[in-house]
Amino acid sequence: MSYSVNISVEAPIENQIQEITYDGTEIYQPPLTLSESLTKYAQKIDFSKTSDIDFKKEPGEAIEDNKSDSDSKDAFQSSLWPWDSARNKLRNAFQEVCVLADVLAIAKDKRYMVLDPVQQEPIETKPMVQIYARKKALAGAASVLLTGAERLKTSQNEAARNRTVPDFHIELLRLRQNWRLKKVSNTIIGDLSYRTAGSKYTQTGTFEVTKAEDDDKTNSPPSSPIPGGATTAKTNSALRVSIPSELQGVAYIEVLCQKDQEDLCSVNVNLLGSGPPASNPDMHWQQKLEAAQNVLFCKELFNQLAKEAVQLQAPIPHMVVGNQIMATVFPGIQLIIGLCHSTVGDKKQQNNNSSKTDHDHVLEHSLHQLLREVHHKNTHHPFPHPATGPLGPSKKRMLAGPMAADRYELLEMTKSETLLEQIIKQAQHFFMRLRTEYVLDTIAKEVKDPLISSHWNTLNSPTQSCVKINISTHGYDALCRTPLVIHVGEKSLKCICRDGKVMHMSYEPQELRDLIFCHINQHQILAVQALAKTMGWQFLANSNHLGTGAVEPLGNASSCLLASPTGDRIIAVRCEPQTGIQVCVAHSPRSDFFPSRLVTERKWEHLGGQFRDVRLEKMEGRNFLHKMELLMASLTSSS
Amino acid sequence: MGTPGTAIDSLNAALKCNIIPNQEYLLQGSVLDQYVEVLLHRLRGLCDNVDSGPESFHDHELCFTLRATNPGAPMVLPLRVRRALDVPDAAWQLRYVGQQELGDKNRPTVVRSSIDMACSSTIVEFLTELGCRVDFEYIARGYMFRKGRMKITVSKIFKMGSMTSKPGEGVEAISQSYLVELSVLAPSGQDAIAEDMRIFAEQLRPLVQLEKIDYKRLGNLP
């Protein structure tokens, strides 16, 4: 059983403050007497509101309403008799009740007054008006239905006509599958920037997707039959993308490598892209968006390169002029990177340019690759191990603390190669490779006697490749072979010689040429020695750097001395890069002896005689070694 | 060039500029074993760079406490040492995690101060010499994801087996569920990230409820 507890709400016992004197004492109002408070509450009763609902609410409301007024009411009603308002209201009520009682008494007798229901006057109905009204209403409804049907019919007809044309929403779905879209109020906005892929380029790549208007559709068929059937299908796309004007057209990064400054002016002509971009409505949205994205990418790439070109401290400063960056790769060789942004209209103009043939597609591709690598690095941070580690710092950086890395190591970690530096290195390597190839090819063409074959490794990096060179003589390759390995770097060559010596060379091609010639000579001498061994000849002496004879412009002459098996014949071979090969033969003892004043006896002839030149060019034999073989054979047999 | 004072100066300057990420914004939740695949699938859809599959981790954590001896105010300083078992050459990590501030209802995440540094394996001996005692240890194994600056780890907690066995062997799972944590390390005052975290947690909502967990209240549970 539940019973409610009465909660009494009382006014605070403290009386209201009437006045505060200057010395701070508070003078309180005397509390109301019982009759005074009864009068006060009675005044608050509003007799005009007597319905049940109001009555329930009243105590709360009335107190609230009147609280503020009560003081003022007290003020001016205090002069009146306190029960005056209550009396007036009661009197009014009494009067009304008396009047009501009188009326009821009279009506009850039914002699003087009768209470009758008041008849409503019937509305006059005119049938014709009703019919007209109904007819009008029906006609309105019919017209609504008819227009609806008409609209359905036209839309169905249109659908039937354009059955081959994809629906706008299906197109939108396809667009959504490949591109980022979002709806902003009533428009569909897409984003073609690479920002989600890690780009930090500030230019936005927003485009707007709209429904292709009908008038465009009707306009397009007359124009489309000229290009061909393929384009008609494209123009009928129900979807239209509008791309900001700065992203319209076609752009690419042009990379040129120039030997001298002669081509400069022709390149300057190539600067284009100031004309108003003409949008091509015939393009399909996919191609249009891809082109725009490419434009954005090229712009970012060029922007980055230009920024780096200005910041980099190069011995020969890089130049950034308009849409071009010029960097010196080697003395006399420039790398020119240009941003070509053209609208479709100028295409013919571009094709006329002859300098287009110099465009280096490989370096352009590398540039694209480099920027994409940067993008990839921006998004693919390594995960920390252990897992509670902070995201961001690389593993190397994390290990820097425990491994007590010094200032230098930490600074090294912060360094990273800029795109421009990397592309310059690639260009340098490209030139080094080209020069090495050229040197090797020309030497192989010039020098017939030892055969020079070069094998380029197929596995290489953009800044490093390797070539293996074999020097051998035709028919004697089993006898002696001089292998060389050349590592082609960015600015230097490293040659690993047959004996394991490592030679470093600069980018000047003459150095490599000299080295190869030096090795050709060495090869000949070594091959003769090897041949002598097989022929049973003795190998007396050998010098790779002979100090005698005329001074060579490059390198030194090398030589060797060979003795026949019986020791009566000696062959001397001298190889010089410049003059070629000299072969001399000495006989001891000489077959004929004439005593002279100095040499009186024949025995002295055993000491060795004078060397006589062999005219190699008159000898039979395919090559030097063959000739030497024949020579040795002839000298051996005669003994 | 540099006097010894400059290191301290630069550290102070860094502190003043408020660039040191020393606040951890954290949301936690758990998911039952049988639904973890679904959660991982969802995370693969939401997070960055999951084309190569989620990154797994396998860590061993030792929790040390250093008790101050002054009788007036008994102070307990917790220190965590963590190492990756699956990446042997990774640095160890020493971490201090401060008291968490739950904040009022308007704050979407727990915020606690967190200072971590990489260290070598001798940290355990060092801490023992300092007078720290091992409070508890566990092994966490699972996957981590990244979404912008947020890191999401889904890990299973294992009790260490007998002390003789090597870590990673003879372990038993503590519960039938995975611990899911969403955390960001940021310099103090970057409360905007907490809002991002709330939105992200919202996207995982039916699978896992990432919330501000009040450990004190959990302690009162029977």
**Region A414-434: what's the mean pLDDT?**
90
- What's residue A96's pLDDT? 94
Q: A18-27, A327-336, A494-503, A537-546 — which one is most confidently predicted on average? A: A494-503
ipTM: 0.81
Using an 8 Å CB-CB cutoff, list chain B residues near A402: 91-92, 118-120
How many residues can be counted in chain B? 222
List the single best residue of A383, A394, A396, A413 to mutate versus B (max B Cβ within 10 A): A383
Report the CATH number that the domain containing residue B148 is assigned in CATH. 2.40.320.10
Q: Quickly state the pLDDT bin for B165 (edges 50, 70, 90).
A: low
| pLDDT tops 90 at residue A545 | no
Domain interval for residue B83: 21-214
| pLDDT tops 50 at residue A466 | yes
Q: How many CB atoms lie within 10 A of CB A603?
A: 10
Q: How many CB atoms lie within 10 A of CB A413?
A: 14
Least confident piece of the model among A246-250, A622-626, B72-76:
B72-76
- What's residue A638's pLDDT? 52
Is residue B3 included in any domain, yes or no? no
Percent of chain A at pLDDT above 70? 80
Q: Which residues are bridge partners to A28 per DSSP? A: A17
CA nearest A376 in B: which residue? B49
**Region A2-30: what's the mean pLDDT?**
76
Least confident piece of the model among A94-103, A435-444, A467-476, A579-588:
A579-588
Q: Check residue A236 and report its DSSP letter.
A: T
**Region A35-55: what's the mean pLDDT?**
68
- What's residue A438's pLDDT? 94
Q: Which residues are bridge partners to B158 per DSSP? A: B139, B173
Nearest to B119 among A388, A391, A402 (CB): A402
Is residue B126 included in any domain, yes or no? yes
Least confident piece of the model among A179-183, A545-549, B114-118:
A545-549
Q: Which CA distances in Å does A390 have to A30, A393, B23, B78, B201?
A: 75, 7, 11, 19, 20
Higher pLDDT, B199 or A270: B199
Q: Quickly state the pLDDT bin for A565 (edges 50, 70, 90).
A: confident
**Gap between the Cα atoms of B82 and A218, Å rounded:** 71
Q: Which CA distances in Å does A406 have to A402, A410, A412, B116?
A: 11, 6, 10, 20
Nearest to A402 among B48, B82, B120 (CB): B120
- What's residue A61's pLDDT? 44
Amino acid letter, residue A480? C
The DSSP result for A22-76, as a single string, is TTSPEEEPPPPPHHHHHHHHHHH--TT--SHHHHHHHHHHHHHHHHHHHHHHHHH
Q: Do B57 and A385 touch (CB under 8 A)?
A: yes
Is residue B10 included in any domain, yes or no? no
Using an 8 Å CB-CB cutoff, list chain A residues near B146: 381, 383, 391
Phi-psi region of B170 (alpha: psi -120 to 50; beta: other; left: phi over 0): left
Nearest to A435 by CA among A366, A365, A488, A504: A488
Q: Do B91 and A401 touch (CB under 8 A)?
A: yes
Is residue B6 included in any domain, yes or no? no
| pLDDT tops 60 at residue B89 | yes
Chain B nearest CA to A386, separation (Å): 5
- What's residue A268's pLDDT? 41
pLDDT tens-digit series, residues A30-40: 777 888 888 88
Task: Note which residues in 185-204 of chain B have CB less than 8 A from chain A.
Answer: 185
A vs B, Cβ pairs < 8 A, gives 67
Using an 8 Å CB-CB cutoff, list chain B residues near A389: 93, 116, 118
Q: Phi, psi (5° rounding) for residue B217?
A: -70, -35
**Gap between the Cα atoms of B140 and A385, Å rounded:** 12
Amino acid letter, residue A477? D
Higher pLDDT, B214 or A508: A508
Q: Give a three-class secondary structure readout of A420-483.
A: HHHHHHHHHHHHHHHHHHHHHHHHHHHCCCEEEEEEECCCCECCEEEEEEEEEECCCCCCCEEE
- What's residue A232's pLDDT? 40
- Segment (H or E) for A543: strand A538-546
Task: Note which residues in 391-450 of chain A have CB less than 8 A from chain B.
Answer: 391, 395, 398-403
Where b means 16+ CB within 10 Å and e means fewer, B77-88 reads: eebbbbbbbebe
Residue for token digits 């725009």?
A: A292
| pLDDT tops 80 at residue A69 | no
Least confident piece of the model among A91-100, A388-397, B168-177:
B168-177
CA nearest A402 in B: which residue? B119
Q: Where are the alpha helices (DSSP H) in B57-180?
A: 123-130
CA nearest B151 in A: which residue? A391
Q: Which residues are bridge partners to A190 per DSSP? A: A181, A207
- What's residue A50's pLDDT? 54
Is residue B57 included in any domain, yes or no? yes
Q: Where are the alpha helices (DSSP H) in A206-272?
A: 214-223, 229-235, 264-269
Chain A nearest CA to B70, separation (Å): 32
Q: Do A383 and B144 touch (CB under 8 A)?
A: yes
Residue A383 contacts B where some CB pair is shorter than 8 Å: yes
pLDDT tens-digit series, residues A184-231: 888 889 999 888 888 888 888 889 988 876 544 444 444 333 333 333
Give the tokens for residue A583. 């072969």
Nearest to B116 among A383, A390, A402 (CB): A390
Q: Quickly state the pLDDT bin for A402 (edges 50, 70, 90).
A: confident
Q: Quickly state the pLDDT bin for A59 (edges 50, 70, 90).
A: very low
Residue B128 contacts A where some CB pair is shorter than 8 Å: no
Largest CA distance in chain A: 201
Chain B nearest CA to A173, separation (Å): 19
Nearest to B150 by CA among B105, B116, B195: B195
Amino acid letter, residue A385? H
Number of H helices, E strands in chain B: 5, 9
Nearest to B91 among A379, A380, A402 (CB): A402
- What's residue B221's pLDDT? 53
Is residue B167 included in any domain, yes or no? yes
CA nearest A395 in B: which residue? B90
- Segment (H or E) for A485: strand A481-488
pLDDT tens-digit series, residues A264-304: 444 443 444 444 444 455 678 888 899 999 999 999 999 99
β-pairing verdict for B172-173 and B92-101 = unpaired
Residue B137 contacts A where some CB pair is shorter than 8 Å: no
List the single best residue of B46, B49, B124 to mutate versus A (max A Cβ within 10 A): B49
- Segment (H or E) for A290: helix A285-311
**Gap between the Cα atoms of A374 and A465, Å rounded:** 24
- What's residue B212's pLDDT? 87
**Region B163-186: what's the mean pLDDT?**
78
**Region A360-387: what's the mean pLDDT?**
88
The DSSP result for B116-143, as a single string, is EEEE-TTHHHHHHHHT-EEEEEEEEEEE
**Region A169-193: what's the mean pLDDT?**
88
**Gap between the Cα atoms of A283 and A233, Å rounded:** 11
Chain B nearest CA to A407, separation (Å): 11
- What's residue A221's pLDDT? 41
Residue for token digits 């940290």?
A: B123
- What's residue A344's pLDDT? 58
The answer to whether A589 touches A583, Cβ cutoff 8 Å, is no
Residue B61 contacts A where some CB pair is shorter than 8 Å: yes
Percent of chain B at pLDDT above 90? 37
Using an 8 Å CB-CB cutoff, list chain A residues near B92: 386, 402
pLDDT tens-digit series, residues A380-401: 888 888 888 888 788 888 888 8
Domain count, chain B: 1
Q: Do A387 and B140 touch (CB under 8 A)?
A: yes
pLDDT tens-digit series, residues B113-131: 999 889 998 999 999 998 8
Q: Indicate the Cα dihedral angle B202, B204, B207, B211, nearest 10°.
A: -50
Nearest to A388 among B48, B95, B142 (CB): B95
**Region B55-80: what's the mean pLDDT?**
84
pLDDT tens-digit series, residues A105-156: 888 887 777 777 777 776 777 888 999 999 999 999 999 999 999 999 998 8
Q: Do A380 and B87 touch (CB under 8 A)?
A: no
Least confident piece of the model among A345-359, B56-70, B181-195:
A345-359
**Gap between the Cα atoms of B30 and B175, Å rounded:** 10
- What's residue A44's pLDDT? 77
Residue B92 contacts A where some CB pair is shorter than 8 Å: yes
- What's residue B88's pLDDT? 86
Helix or strand or coil: residue A268? helix
Nearest to A451 by CA among A478, A479, A472: A472
Nearest to A634 by CA among A622, A624, A619: A619
Nearest to A272 by CA among A320, A308, A309, A324: A324
For chain A, the structural domain boundaries read 19-69, 168-378, 435-521, 532-638
| pLDDT tops 50 at residue A519 | yes
Q: Which residues contact A280 (CB under 8 A, 6 or more apart)?
A: A288, A344
Q: What is the mean pLDDT of chain A?
A: 80
**Gap between the Cα atoms of A454 and A428, Å rounded:** 21
pLDDT tens-digit series, residues A228-268: 333 344 456 778 888 888 888 888 888 888 876 554 444 44
Give the tokens for residue B2. 């540099």
Residue B112 contacts A where some CB pair is shorter than 8 Å: no
pLDDT tens-digit series, residues A577-620: 777 888 998 877 666 667 777 777 767 666 666 788 888 888 88
Cα angle at A487 between A485 and A493, to 5 degrees?
Answer: 110
The answer to whether A215 touches A222, Cβ cutoff 8 Å, is no
Nearest to A259 by CA among A350, A355, A338: A355
Chain B nearest CA to A199, separation (Å): 14
- Segment (H or E) for A296: helix A285-311
Q: Which CA distances in Å does A192 have to A180, A251, A372, A473, B12?
A: 7, 15, 15, 62, 43
Q: Check residue B27 and report its DSSP letter.
A: E
**Gap between the Cα atoms of A542 and B18, Å rounded:** 75
Q: Do A388 and B116 touch (CB under 8 A)?
A: yes
